[in-house]
Amino acid sequence: MGLGERLYNEPHQLSGGEKQRVAIARAVLGDPALLLADEPTGALDSRSGEVVMDLLRELHRAGTTVVVITHDRDIAASLPREVRIKDGRIEHDSAVDGHNSHVVERVSS
C-alpha cells in the first residue's frame, strides 16, 4: 500500500489519499472475492485518485472482483465494463451490448 513510513502516524496526519489506501487495505485484509468501491476517488485530488485507481486495478489483476461505483465519467471511461443505472433500473450494460465483458465493472448514474 506504500504506507510503511506512515505506520505510526495518527489519522489526522494522513493525506486523503493515504486514508483512502488505509480503507482499501482494511477492506482486502481477508482476501475477499469481491470489493465494492463506492466513489473511491470522490474526496481526493487527481494524483491521489490515480494512486487509488491503480491500486484497485492491481487488486483486480490479482484476482479480486472490483466493482467501482462512480459519477466520474473519466474514471468510468477508464474501466473495461460499464453498467449504467437510472432510477434503479439498468439502462446500459456494455457486456450485454457486445463490448468488453470483464470482471471489473463500472457503474455510473
Q: pTM of the prediction?
A: 0.71
Strands 82-86 and 89-93: antiparallel
Q: What is the pLDDT of residues 78-93, one digit of tens each?
A: 888 888 888 989 888 8
Instruction: Catalogue all structural domains in the chain, each as residue range(s) with its CATH number.
Output: 4-108 (3.40.50.300)
| CB 85, CB 57: distance < 8 Å | no
Beta strands in the chain (DSSP E): 34-38, 65-69, 82-86, 89-93, 105-108
pLDDT digit string, tens, across residues 9-68 = 888 888 887 888 788 788 888 888 999 999 988 888 888 888 889 988 988 998 899 999
**Given this model, what pLDDT does residue 98 score?**
58
Higher pLDDT among residues 77 and 36, named by residue? 36
DSSP annotation of 107 reads E
Can you list the alpha helix ranges (DSSP code H) found in 9-103? 16-28, 46-61, 73-77
